[in-house]
Amino acid sequence: MLSLGLRRCRKSCRLRWLNYLKPNIKKGAFEEDEVDLIIRLHRLLGNRWSLIAGRIPGRTANDIKNFWNSCLGKKVSPNLQDVVANKETAGSTAVKPLKQSSPRHAAGIKKTVLPVAPSYFVIKPKPRIPSKSIGFPILPKNIGTHREARREPPATDDRPDKEEDPLPWLRNLLGVEEEEIEEDGKQKQLQKGPEQEQEQEMILYSFPCSSQASEVDFLVKEHCREEVGSDEGQWRWEDMFLDEELMLGDLLGPEAGSKPVN
DNA sequence: AATGAGGCCAACCGCCAAGCT
DNA sequence: CAGCTTGGCGGTTGGCCTCAT
């Protein structure tokens, strides 16, 4: 929103570039898949817009934040239980479309189909901030960028030798074993068996380095496995795993594709 | 046609941590 | 080690737009 008397400092200019001018920024309508993904990610991450935006190519944190505050926030959070009830009675996940009184708004969102999740929890990854001088190649970059994360002192003292097996250190770095999950005010601790340990090792060694939310990715999978298993209609890791090369529709699983379209 | 209400969204603000001197 | 600068973040503001009356 430009005004004639607007004076921009460097910070404002940068912000404007990042949120508005940058060429790869996607403008216009939020696709159904994007809306669905935003809702899911918000359930997991809360108001961590930068992390959410990191999983939605072309959208900025500001975009998503505005979209949530003006549209989704009002519609989704307070009525989640109603939505669940609607599903049970009507046998459909579709709910009323968002306000479309104005063309402007209609251009901003095509339609909304809310996913249903009976339990509501927020994952708060334990922050780990590796030192810049760290010599470990598979570390996901930009982890722990959240403000909350930065408050935690970096775990650099027990950094492993490059020759050593990095896994225990990385595991500690990610805080996987003692990760605390909030669910309805209670706190839980994740526990793993030998098979899960093995799978975790595979995940750790194949960690996607390009994602800002790599740590979250891992924790999401861990949490989904613990909390909801393979129940239908529940969270799935495949739903969350997003690579920029992939299409959103492919990531939301078959359910998203079969949702009714108005 | 005028106007008030409500919504959208770019921009601003304050806070925090990393990096530099 | 302290102070300053810079960058990143989430929350909030306010101008502009559309619609209803």
| Model confidence pLDDT, tens digit, residues A209-239 | 333 344 445 444 544 444 444 333 344 444 4
Residues A68 and A141 in one domain: no
State yes or no: pLDDT of A54 exceeds 50.
yes
pLDDT tens track for A129-142: 333 333 333 333 33
Average pLDDT, chain A: 51
Question: What is the rounded average pLDDT of the residues A7-13?
Answer: 75
In a domain, A151, yes or no: yes
Q: Which of A20, A55, A62 is nearest to A38 (CA)?
A: A55
Residues A100 and A143 in one domain: no
Residues A114 and A149 in one domain: no
In a domain, A235, yes or no: no
In a domain, A15, yes or no: no
The domain of A207 spans 122-227
Question: What is the rounded average pLDDT of the residues A41-59?
Answer: 87
Question: What is the rounded average pLDDT of the residues A37-61?
Answer: 87
Residues A154 and A98 in one domain: no
Separation between the CA of A244 and the C1’ of C16 (whole angstroms)? 34
State yes or no: pLDDT of A155 exceeds 60.
no
Residues A106 and A195 in one domain: no
Residues A127 and A94 in one domain: no
In a domain, A11, yes or no: no
In a domain, A43, yes or no: yes
Q: Which residue has the higher pLDDT, A177 or A30?
A: A30
Output the pLDDT for position A20. Answer: 80
**How many domains does chain A contain in total?**
2
Residues A82 and A34 in one domain: yes
A121-135 b/e with 16+ CB inside 10 Å = b? Answer: bebbbbbbbbeeeee
Residues A111 and A143 in one domain: no
Q: Is the CB of A124 under 7 A from strand C?
A: no
Output the pLDDT for position A7. Answer: 56
Residues A110 and A149 in one domain: no
Strands A121-123 and A180-183: antiparallel
Please give the nucleotide, over all strands, whose C1' is closest to the CA of residue A146.
C9
**Domain containing A62 — which CATH number?**
1.10.10.60
Residue nearest to nucleotide B16 (CA to C1'): A147
Output the pLDDT for position A31. Answer: 82
State yes or no: pLDDT of A63 exceeds 70.
yes
In a domain, A143, yes or no: yes
State yes or no: pLDDT of A43 exceeds 60.
yes
- Percentages helix, strand, coil for chain A (3-state, rounded to 5) are 45, 5, 50
